[in-house]
Amino acid sequence: MTLLLLDSASLWYRAFYGLPQSMVSPSGQPVNAIRGYLDSVARMAVTYQPDRIVACLDGDWRPSWRTELIPEYKANRVEEESEDGSLSEAAEELEILEAQVPVIMEVLDLIGIPLIGIDDYEADDVIATLSVREPGPTFIVTGDRDLFQLVDDKRKVKVAYIAKGISQHELVDLKWIKSKYEIPGDRYALFATFRGDPSDGLPGARGIGPKGAATIANQFGSIKEVISAAKKSDPNLSGSLQKKIIESADYLLKAEVVVNCVVNLRLPKGPFDLPKKVPNKKALEILAKNHGIESSVKRLLSALEL
């Protein structure tokens, strides 16, 4: 019973910026994110033949409990105004994207694909909880490498990593992580905490780059273990690394909580099986026609054998 977990925001952001805004509805509104999202899900469905699909959503893309620990978390993504008080170009683009999101969710709802998001938690946390709770095999569709921490060969949890595009996506398992980062595959979160991620406003431990983070991840299994080793002058750590770890200890303990996905959210129970037929086909046809997305909807229905 294969489960496909969709990191929805990752999918529609990539669709929006990967396809031209000249794709419009009969009324002239951009539908590039809608078409790209639906086509991407169709491609993934054909590739992995899921019996169950969940579209996972951000209840909050900057949860209060994460920003309380690290105020800079994703602060670089907050909408900004131009000098004259108008919205910046990036903010204007975001508005165009956000106008398409309700249509995506309505299409999924009419088809019968569940959408799950929880207040003050990110889609990552929903995905993490479901990947731990639900039986596999599970494929997580995302362009976010943060979710590599969820890969689990024993439970058959893998990441379909779409950073290079849907057609060139990579299937991430523990062996892939080990080969890519030269660390034990199950220590990606530890590695990422030290390395940091500027795109998320996470600087990482000062002075410790990817190479130092990999060295640490190969020797230790947790942040507390690393800090304790540094304070005890563990020979597995160079004097330079010991000093940098101790200086960044407060940040590391906070960042560990921010970086690690929550795996115990109270979510709706499954089984999330795909429907045998579209519950309201007429409403779906009208919606598709109004937005000029008939071909994408048909493609998805065909992929799901509906």
Residue reference for tokens 């893309």: 61
Q: Strand 138-142 vs strand 52-56: parallel, antiparallel, or unpaired? A: unpaired
Is 273:4 a contact under the CB 8 Å cutoff? no
User: How many whole angstroms separate alpha carbon 190 and alpha carbon 207?
Assistant: 16
Render pLDDT for 10-68 as a digit per residue (tens, 0 to 9): 999 999 999 999 999 999 999 999 999 999 999 999 999 999 999 999 999 999 999 99
The CA-atom distances, in angstroms, between 268 and each of 35, 62, 109, 160, 259 are: 28, 22, 15, 24, 24
Domain ranges of the chain: 3-181+262-301, 185-259
**Distance of alpha carbon 164 from alpha carbon 89, whole angstroms:** 25
Q: Which CATH number fits domain 3-181+262-301: 3.40.50.200, 1.10.340.30, 3.40.50.300, 3.40.50.1010?
A: 3.40.50.1010
What are the φ and ψ backbone dihedral angles of 235, each rounded to 5 degrees? -65, -15
Among 12-26, 84-98, 189-203, 271-285, where is mean pLDDT lowest? 84-98
The alpha carbon of residue 142 and the mean position of all alpha carbons in its chain are separated, in whole angstroms, by: 5
| CA quadruple 228, 230, 235, 238: dihedral, nearest 10 | 160
Q: Name the nearest CA neighbour of 173 among 152, 143, 147, 142.
A: 152
pLDDT digits (tens, 9 = 90+) for 111-123: 999 999 999 999 9
Assigned CATH class of 185-259? mainly alpha
Report the alpha-carbon distance of residue 43 to residue 230 in Å, rounded.
Answer: 47
Q: pLDDT by residue (tens digit) across 177-234?
A: 999 999 999 999 999 999 999 999 999 999 999 999 999 999 999 999 999 999 999 9
pTM: 0.95
- Round to whole Å and give the CA distance between 248 and 274: 47
